[in-house]
Structure 1
Amino acid sequence: MPDIVFIHGLWLSYTAWQPWTKYVAAKGYQAIAPRWPGEGDTAAASRGNPHAQAGFGIFQLTEHFAAVIEQFDAPPIAIGHSFGGLIAQKLLGQNRVAAAVAINPAPIKGVTPLPLAQLRSTFPVLVNPLNHGRATTLTQRQFRYGFGNALSKAESDSLWEQWSIPSPGRPLFEAAIANITPNSPARTDTANTTRGPLLITGGTDDHTVPFISARATFEQYARSTAVTDFHGFDGAGHSLTIDHRWHEVADVALAWLEVRGFGGESQT
């Protein structure tokens, strides 16, 4: 039976994957959603100790999840959102996971488009160099622009109340200068021909990872003969893994896994 490891991105609690873990369990998968280093048991606990996550970068996060994966008898599937999608790609490129789904992933090294919406979404962190070593929290208004712009204000505000947490600023700084950093931690092995299959998705209304950025990530894999697929979600913003459309996103991921030979076993 395939195992799945869910990896969240910045500013969302690991508990936001709980609906997903229950959903995929009913489809025959065993799934876990580990915390980031320093993350609390609950979203409230993380908010109450915002400094605990400060300072962790892409390399440390990747190794953290690699250690989790080593506990499995066989390489699991990684499903990641935003920076979790970047980490999932790194793990796949290192042949540490059997397959990966990168949902609206943060840009890897080599991605050059930098739309205005993306700049505006990251500006609250990148504007202050001191945030490199801090953990930052999005305000309700900032969350609405970066995550909930395709939603009603009521739904966006509800998601912010339920799932938002402080997150380290360092990954954003590392991604921002990846293309001028020779050994950037945002680099992935896009030329690996022995890795498992990869699905990358993009949302046409995403402000944090605009569609053109997600598509550019997909195009970075052109040199590899390994399976790389792309799926676009029309009208979806960055909140697509937690908002009213999450079932649609989950079904696309599971259908792709089935096609690529990683289907779950029915428990009915």
Structure 2
Amino acid sequence: MKAVQSKTIVFVTGAFVTHLGWKPWQDYFESKGYTTYAPSWTNKEGTAKEVRDRKPNDLALARTHLIDVVNNYAKFIESLPEKPIVIGHSLGGLMTQILLNRGLAAAAVVVHSVPPLGVIPYEFSFLKAGWRSLGLFTSLDKTYMMSFETWQYAFTNGMSLQEQKDSYEANTIPESKRAARGGLSLTAKIDFAKPHAPLLFVAGTKDNIIPSTINKRNFNRYKDKNSVTDYKEFAENNHYVLGLHNWQQTAGYIFDWIQKQ
């Protein structure tokens, strides 16, 4: 008998981008018989353009903390008829680890995940790509909007200029600096020794903002020998993994992994 019986998937979105980027993934997993959900973050409802049009004076979003977003996902999950499989990308991967640590996931997949507290992201490319979102020496009541140049480096390195422009227009939205800083707070603390449902780390060798070395250190911190914790690295994937031309290869690997649990 398979350990993972759930036929429900909740996708958890990362920072800087719309939750609507999960739509192709939802279609893929729904074609495999799953019911899927990709809720927006707190105060990020609407299309990418609609959310962008509220910047920089969107006070509700600016004052959103990471714990608010985590608790909103937890509340949504608890409203479902069964415990879901949770799949999160980037900061959504960190939130997925937190939700797993709370016992809210039947299985979890973290795709290019921001690491929890205690896994130090010292890589230069991580610092170069992400430090602006913390809003140092700027008002926390103003949202942060990733520039196109940062998008090129942090998300879409190696892609054509037109692909970079199109993906920037389709996906980018303002971000709460408070939420970005939440990754450095006690909200991001988890118990690595606690038994957990099956957990898969997916990393990309070409990712600048969350290098695969960070994912591997994160993976290695999990200590419970009786819990399934797996790691997979794709050599061609940058941080825009969800929308790359080969995204179905990544999604297919995740699907196959779920079936084996």
TM-score (norm 1): 0.90
- Supply the distance in 1 between the matched residues of 2:97 and 2:78 (Cα, whole angstroms): 16
Which of 165, 173, 176 is equivalent to 2:181? 173
* 2:152 maps to 1:144: yes
Which of 165, 171, 186 is equivalent to 1:163? 171
- Supply the distance in 1 between the matched residues of 2:75 and 2:45 (Cα, whole angstroms): 19
- Supply the distance in 2 between the matched residues of 1:84 and 1:255 (Cα, whole angstroms): 21
Residue by residue, what CA displacement relative to the aligned partner does 1:210-240 show, whole Å, maximum 9, x if unpaired?
Answer: 1111111101103453111111010211000
Structure 1 window deviating more from structure 2 (152-161 vs 20-29): it is 152-161
- Counterpart for residue 17 of structure 1: 22
How far did residue 127 of structure 1 move? 5.4
Contact kept? 1:192, 1:224, Cα under 8 Å = no
The within-5 A match list for 1:65-214 is 65-126=73-134, 128-130=136-138, 132-175=140-183, 177-178=184-185, 184-193=186-195, 195-214=196-215
* 2:253 maps to 1:252: yes
Residue by residue, what CA displacement relative to the aligned partner does 1:60-81 show, whole Å, maximum 9, x if unpaired?
Answer: 1110100110111111011000
List alignment gaps of at least 5 residues for structure 1: 179-183, 261-268
> What SS class does the counterpart of residue 202 from structure 1 fall into?
strand
2:193 maps to a residue whose letter is: A
- Supply the distance in 2 between the matched residues of 1:235 and 1:7 (Cα, whole angstroms): 23
> What SS class does the counterpart of residue 188 from structure 2 fall into?
coil
* 2:38 maps to 1:33: yes
> What SS class does the counterpart of residue 130 from structure 1 fall into?
coil
> What SS class does the counterpart of residue 80 from structure 1 fall into?
strand
> What SS class does the counterpart of residue 230 from structure 2 fall into?
strand
Residue by residue, what CA displacement relative to the aligned partner does 1:229-266 show, whole Å, maximum 9, x if unpaired?
Answer: 11101021100012212111111111110111xxxxxx
2:188 maps to a residue whose letter is: A
1:207 maps to a residue whose letter is: N
- Counterpart for residue 216 of structure 2: 215
- Supply the distance in 2 between the matched residues of 1:125 and 1:226 (Cα, whole angstroms): 34
- Supply the distance in 2 between the matched residues of 1:133 and 1:77 (Cα, whole angstroms): 34
Contact kept? 1:134, 1:170, Cα under 8 Å = no
Contact kept? 2:135, 2:177, Cα under 8 Å = no
List alignment gaps of at least 5 residues for structure 2: 1-5
- Supply the distance in 1 between the matched residues of 2:141 and 2:114 (Cα, whole angstroms): 19
> What SS class does the counterpart of residue 167 from structure 1 fall into?
coil
Structure 1 window deviating more from structure 2 (30-39 vs 164-173): it is 164-173
How far did residue 104 of structure 1 move? 0.4
* 2:47 maps to 1:42: yes
2:163 maps to a residue whose letter is: E
Contact kept? 2:66, 2:187, Cα under 8 Å = yes
- Supply the distance in 1 between the matched residues of 2:89 and 2:53 (Cα, whole angstroms): 24
- Supply the distance in 2 between the matched residues of 1:116 and 1:232 (Cα, whole angstroms): 20
> What SS class does the counterpart of residue 206 from structure 1 fall into?
coil
- Supply the distance in 2 between the matched residues of 1:2 and 1:239 (Cα, whole angstroms): 26
> What SS class does the counterpart of residue 25 from structure 1 fall into?
helix
Shift in alpha-carbon separation, 1:224–1:131, aligned structure 2, 3 A: farther
- Supply the distance in 2 between the matched residues of 1:58 and 1:100 (Cα, whole angstroms): 19
Structure 1 window deviating more from structure 2 (148-157 vs 233-242): it is 148-157
How far did residue 86 of structure 1 move? 0.6
